[in-house]
Amino acid sequence: RQAQYRLLRHKPAVTKDGVRVALNMNAGLLVDLPHLAEAGAEGIGLFRTELQFMVASTMPRMNAQTQLYASVLEATGDRPVTFRTLDIGGDKVLPYMRSQPEDNPALGWRAIRLGLDRPALLRMQLRALLRAAAGRELRVMLPMVTEVSEIRQARGLLDREITQLTRHGHAPPSKILLGSMIEVPALLFQLDALMAETDFVSVGSNDLLQYMTASDRGNTRVASRFDPISRHFLRALRSIVTAAERAGKPVTLCGEIAGRPLAALALVGIGFRSLSMSAASIGPVKATLLGLDIGKLRAVLDPLLASDSGEDGISAALLAFAERE
């Protein structure tokens, strides 16, 4: 199997009916980088910057951050990299940072909330990213955005750092894109405003599904409720794709489900043309997509998504489809 996937490494993921899907990988540390070429990823769709902070025993200084980001950009060459700003707080605690215990860490003071309330940390990170990407394209993505105004605030911080950078004689990136993750359900009801404020969006399906179904993503007791191939969730995801297309903004999905072949089928069926997943999943997902006819898939999927009958049945129907085709 592994050898078979390796043969697909240089092949683009194009479905039988000619639709190209970009397969990117998720990463977070330098050790992940060799997987880029091994897996044949088109780029890094999600770089989880908090990992550098989580493995350190003291707060990484700006130079250490800059160095890591520069090494990542160096290793990826011309391939795109999306750096997500710190997603700490909640369950991602830093031992060296004082934090108050919270009753519901997943719903607490974390990610962009912390970043905007204590902007020194976020500003330092933005500075490191800007310096590392001198003369290159820089893509920055904000985690756990709940309100569109948070993007506006973050853009304000970013603009200030760009001004400072050039004032100090540093070369700026050749292009800067600021994107938002969609992982809080409140954003589903502000999609047009969101698209207007952001250069791209990426669905964090782990958290979006957790918050939509009120089912802890790590709790095995509720694992059966944490089902991405369900009508309500796929409808939500489809509304995101539709809004992004309407606004002409790139949309991708970087949660774990992108790496599950059956879920990836569903995602491509509802319109995703870019996914980001663990490096090990790229081979299996690509193999699945190479054998897919989206037209045939949609003939099965669309009626099930449109139906309001009590039974969902999408998982079973997709499985039957995958076995038949």
Binding site for ligand PEP (CB under 6 A): 46, 48, 87, 183, 204-207, 254-255
Taking the complex as a whole, how short is the minimal distance between the CB of residue 260 and ligand PEP, in angstroms? 13
Shortest separation between residue 144's beta carbon and ligand PEP, angstroms: 8
Contact partner at residue 255 from ligand PEP, Mg ion, none, CB < 5 to 8 Å by partner kind: ligand PEP
Q: How far is the CB of 106 from ligand PEP (least distance, A)?
A: 10
CA angle 311, 315, 319 (to 5 degrees): 135
Q: Which does 254 bind (CB under 5 to 8 A by kind): Mg ion, ligand PEP, none?
A: ligand PEP
Closer residue to Mg ion in complex, CB, 199/207 = 207
Cβ proximity to ligand PEP, 161 vs 183, nearer residue: 183
Q: What is the DSSP string of 193-245?
A: HHHHH-SEEEE-HHHHHHHHHT--TT-GGGTTT--SSSHHHHHHHHHHHHHHH
Take residue 241 and report the two structure tokens written for it.
């794709």
By beta-carbon proximity to ligand PEP, the closer residue of 91 and 302 is 91
Angle, CA of 72, 109 and 157, to the nearest 5°? 55
Pairwise CA distance, residues 295 & 11, whole Å: 22
CB of 8 to ligand PEP, least distance (A): 24
Tokens representing residue 76 in the block? 């990826």
Q: Which of residues 228-267 bind Mg ion (CB under 5 A)?
A: none
Residues 40 and 8: beta-carbon distance below 8 Å: yes
Q: Residue 207 CB, nearest distance to Mg ion (Å)?
A: 4
- CB neighbours of 102 closer than 8 A, spacing ≥ 6? 90, 108, 109
Residues 6+ apart with CB under 8 A from 211: 106, 183, 184, 185
Q: In the complex with Mg ion, which residue's Cβ is closer, 197 or 207?
A: 207
Residues, the chain, total? 325
User: Closest distance between Mg ion and the C-beta of residue 85, in Å?
Assistant: 12
- Binding test (CB under 5 A) with Mg ion, winner from 60, 204, 269, 283: 204
Q: How far apart are CA 17 and CA 103, in angstroms?
A: 50
Tally of CB atoms within 10 A around 28:
19
Closer to ligand PEP at the Cβ: 131 or 260? 260
Instruction: Say if residues 289 and 261 touch (Cβ distance below 8 Å).
Output: no
Question: Residue 111: exposed, middle, or buried by beta-carbon count in 10 A (0-12, 13-18, 19+)?
Answer: buried
* 32 contacts Mg ion (rule: CB under 5 A): no
- Of the ranges 21-29, 48-56, 205-213, 219-227, which one interacts with Mg ion (CB under 5 A)? 205-213
Does residue number 207 form part of the binding site for Mg ion (CB under 5 A)? Answer: yes
Q: Which does 110 bind (CB under 5 to 8 A by kind): Mg ion, ligand PEP, none?
A: none
- Shorter beta-carbon distance to Mg ion: residue 161 or 207: 207
Q: Is 60 helix (H, G, I), strand (E, B) or coil?
A: coil
Q: Pick between residue 254 and residue 264 the one whose CB is nearest to Mg ion.
A: 254
Select the binding partner of residue 240 from ligand PEP, Mg ion, none (C-beta < 5 to 8 A, by kind): none
Minimum CB separation from ligand PEP for residue 252, in Å? 11
Quick note: the x/- pattern for Mg ion over 177-196, rule CB under 5 A, is: ------x-------------
Residues that bind Mg ion (CB under 5 A): 183, 204, 207
